[in-house]
Amino acid sequence: MAIQDIYPTALRLLGRPVLVVGGGPVAARRAKGLLDAGARVTVVAPVASDALRELADSGLLTWEPRTYVSTDVDGVWFVQTATGVADVDAQVAADAEAQSIWCVNASDHESSAAWTPAVAVVDDVKIAINAGGDPRRAMALRDAVATALETGDLPLRRRRASAGSVALVGGGPGDSGLITVRGRRLLGQADVVVADRLGPRELLHELAPDVRVIEVGKTPGHHPVPQVEINRILVDEALAGHRVVRLKGGDPYVLGRGGEEAEFCRQNGVEVEVVPGVTSAISVPAAAGIPVTHRGLAKGFSVVTGHEELSEVPARPDHTVILLMGVAKLRESATALADSGMPLDTPVGIVENGYMPEQRVTIGTLATIAEQAEATGVANPAVIVIGDVVRVSPFAPEHFKTADYSTLTPNKPRVTAP
């Protein structure tokens, strides 16, 4: 059978009788697929596999433990052969043909009246692929298409009206490769994207031309779209029937006001999904080779957004302090930590534009970092890391290195080089 002879369609078998002839693994797979479609399945086979027996014992299908007879096809809508015996499958196919019933002949795809495609389901989309009768080729193509849909490389966006929804998507520190697979997929389904300044901006250029992008980005001290207005935009767009993605930098629930947005959506009857993101508090230091914890150096860390909270965190080099949005108040923050007992020679690292081409790392001490930042023009977006973990960074000067911060000899006391 040439590929041109195929007319692709989809059968709606809910509540309709179908017949599976055969009792092995192939028959079990086909029976399960037909049950998933809502069909009333009868299996005819002298012996049934354990999988088929379980389906029969649970009442999901009917098993006739005998050999096939021609009257078995009477009154059914669809037939699947899977006996593994070519002559039997051919007889079933001939009986079905005589009654104008579509039949898949598993023993002879060339003469089969119908083919079973390789199938995958992504959300409410079902992918079915035939590949010239080559099942392995069809499965490979199916997997590739399914992966592209799952990662957002192919659009899953609905084109017909549906109930609106909001997804709060953490986009990570800015690099388009660091968004989650789920976040990428939802972005590909969006009708409206409400975008932050620090999210993965490159992905906005890949959206369909009719996807609306609403810019609500903030900079320190400048909030052109107040949070109350952002909340209103999300709800209004969703109630208009749109799929809305609130694309944020980092993680929506780590100093991203995602909790407020989710609460407002639910209060107004809007379905909301929260998709975690790679928070800049951890990922941006990693871009400069700085772990927020490291055996022998630090067992815990605190994330704060301003010097006011610093009196409440442990003022020790072995407890990492991460400052977000802290460039403007860096001098005050350093003073606050020193006043709380943090040694002035504690290492400090500032990572600007983490993972981006313009990334820059500045390393100093609690005593010197403010002057260094001012002299070099450090600017947001930047993450400030305070603590002994900065010593691990490959950007740290040699005299910052410790005699031992390795996990290979973790019980050896750490000695700071002079």
- For 194-260, give the DSSP string: EE-TTS-GGGGGGS-TT-EEEE---BTTB-SS-HHHHHHHHHHHHHTT-EEEEEESB-TTSSS-HHH
Residue 177 · residue 206 · CB < 8 Å: no
Residue 392 · residue 297 · CB < 8 Å: yes
- DSSP class of 298: B
Strand 212-215, strand 271-275: pairing: unpaired
- What stretches of 268-415 show up as alpha helix (H) in DSSP? 280-287, 330-339, 369-376
Q: Mark whether 108 is an active-site residue.
A: no
To which residue do tokens 């005819």 refer?
44
Nearest C-alpha neighbor of 284 from the set 349, 331, 329, 345: 349
Options 218, 318, 401, 404, the catalytic residue: 218
What order of strands is seen across the sheet that includes strand 243-248? Answer: 212-215, 192-195, 243-248, 165-170, 271-275
Options 191, 196, 251, 388, the catalytic residue: 196
Q: How many CB atoms lie within 10 A of CB 160?
A: 4
Q: Mark whether 196 is an active-site residue.
A: yes
Query: How many residues can be counted in the chain?
Result: 418
Q: How many CB atoms lie within 10 A of CB 412?
A: 12
Coarse DSSP helix, strand, coil percentages of the chain, rounded to the nearest 5 percent: 35, 20, 45
Using DSSP's 3-state secondary structure scheme, residue 373 falls into helix
- Cα–Cα distance, 211 to 231 (Å, whole number): 19
Which amino acids are annotated catalytic? 196, 218
